Amino acid sequence: MPVREYDAIVVGASFGGLAVARQLHGNVLLLDRNEVGAVQTSACGTPLWVPQALGVADSVLQVHDRLTVRTPRRTVIYDLSAVPFCTFDYKVFCQGLLAQCDARFLRTSVQSVEAGVVVTGEGRFRAPVLIDCSGWRGAMVHGGERNRPSGRAYSFGLETRVDLHDDGLHFLLDRELIQRGLGWIFPVGRGSLIGLGSYVGVSKLKPALERFLAAHGAAATTYHGTYFPNRLLRATVGPIFAVGDAAGQCLPLTAEGIRPAIYFGAECGKLVQKVLDGALDLDEALARYRSVVEGYRWAYRVLGTAQWVAAHAPTRWFAALAGLATRHPFLPRWWPRYGRFGGLDPIPVSTPT
């Protein structure tokens, strides 16, 4: 079968891949093994400005001005009104971004990369620029399941949608519920997503989640869940760019991975477009992208330390720190800074042709 040629190939059409692709013009191929927006793995909580800046505000299901963190002995409430959060509809969000892309979308699974050729179920494709946005598995950069990095770099989350109405986001840190992890309730308009996450990658969470649901008088519908990284991995591997979970860009502690995937995806896409325009050579673009990501390593370290405290220290320590963080003058200093991380271009860069 002949190898089909493109200017760039983006693997994965979720948050990272769509953020890259919407920056690109030219002969670009966007690959995903699923239809865009069809398989949700996330609670889809992010600052409200994210869907607004991306032009997909119609995906917003509920806006949240409050975050409640509960431990067995203490409840701490954060006022998020300086940077409100929202929960959004994954399919509407992703399809809205896809409509802003020039790229050709093809549904197929990437099997491997051999000497620069991307091997898929629908044939073989080659491009001078390859971008891996395929999530924690890193179909191109990790070379498949067998070669992925150490299990300790991954958390695991499992959640289900329930008929529970509430306002505000909730996190629960309770060792009786989950040993080294946390629970959450994210209202999504009509109902809520209730989930559990293990910071040490324990994936058998269904019995604990069922106890959590029973405590709230809620019944599970369908479950979804997967691994997500909790530390920065490599931003480039040889000539391949990695974005989002494929590069370990999900934030430790909060497990916020949408914003970093979109932010670093946009930065990567802008550099790749310069390569396609002949304004930058590939090695320089790879180096500049690594440097953008490296600029945030300190922030990942801080959050990684906070995650260690949440997972390993007595819960009363975490509760004390969480309580301190709500106080004046701390909250007005760190919350807007954290909440506005990843500021995006307000206007879509690419428009459909």
Ligand X SMILES: Cc1cc2nc3c(=O)[nH]c(=O)nc-3n(C[C@H](O)[C@H](O)[C@H](O)COP(=O)(O)OP(=O)(O)OC[C@H]3O[C@@H](n4cnc5c(N)ncnc54)[C@H](O)[C@@H]3O)c2cc1C
Q: Binding residues for ligand X, per CB under 6 A?
A: 11-17, 31-34, 39, 41-46, 109-110, 133-135, 137, 139, 157, 159, 195, 225-226, 228, 244-246, 250, 255-259, 261
CB of 328 to ligand X, least distance (A): 27
For ligand X, give the closer residue by CB, 250 or 293.
Answer: 250
Which whole-number Å values give the CA distances from 337 to 67, 102, 299, 331, 332, in the listed order? Answer: 16, 33, 11, 10, 9
What's at 177, amino acid-wise? L
For ligand X, give the closer residue by CB, 317 or 334.
Answer: 334
Contact 68, 76 (CB under 8 A): yes
Distance CA 158, CA 186 (A): 13
Q: Which residues are CB-contacts of 6 (< 8 A; sequence separation ≥ 6)?
A: 27, 28, 29, 125, 126, 127
CB of 231 to ligand X, least distance (A): 13
Distance CA 315, CA 145 (A): 34
Which residue, chain included where needed, has tokens 């209202």?
187
For ligand X, give the closer residue by CB, 74 or 206.
Answer: 206
Contact 331, 79 (CB under 8 A): yes
Distance CA 60, CA 48 (A): 8
For ligand X, give the closer residue by CB, 8 or 139.
Answer: 139
For ligand X, give the closer residue by CB, 61 or 309.
Answer: 61
CB of 332 to ligand X, least distance (A): 23
For ligand X, give the closer residue by CB, 72 or 121.
Answer: 121
CB of 85 to ligand X, least distance (A): 9
Q: Using CA of residue 230, residue 170, residue 343, residue 52, what is the dihedral sign?
A: positive
CB of 224 to ligand X, least distance (A): 7
Contact 138, 242 (CB under 8 A): yes
- Say how many Å lie between the first and final Cα of the chain, rounded: 30
Burial of 155-174, coded b for 16+ CB within 10 Å and e otherwise, reads bbbbbbbbebeeebbbbbbb
CB of 73 to ligand X, least distance (A): 26
CB of 136 to ligand X, least distance (A): 7
For ligand X, give the closer residue by CB, 7 or 245.
Answer: 245
Which whole-number Å values give the CA distances from 196 to 57, 68, 182, 212, 221, in the listed order? Answer: 27, 16, 6, 9, 15
CB of 320 to ligand X, least distance (A): 25
For ligand X, give the closer residue by CB, 226 or 320.
Answer: 226
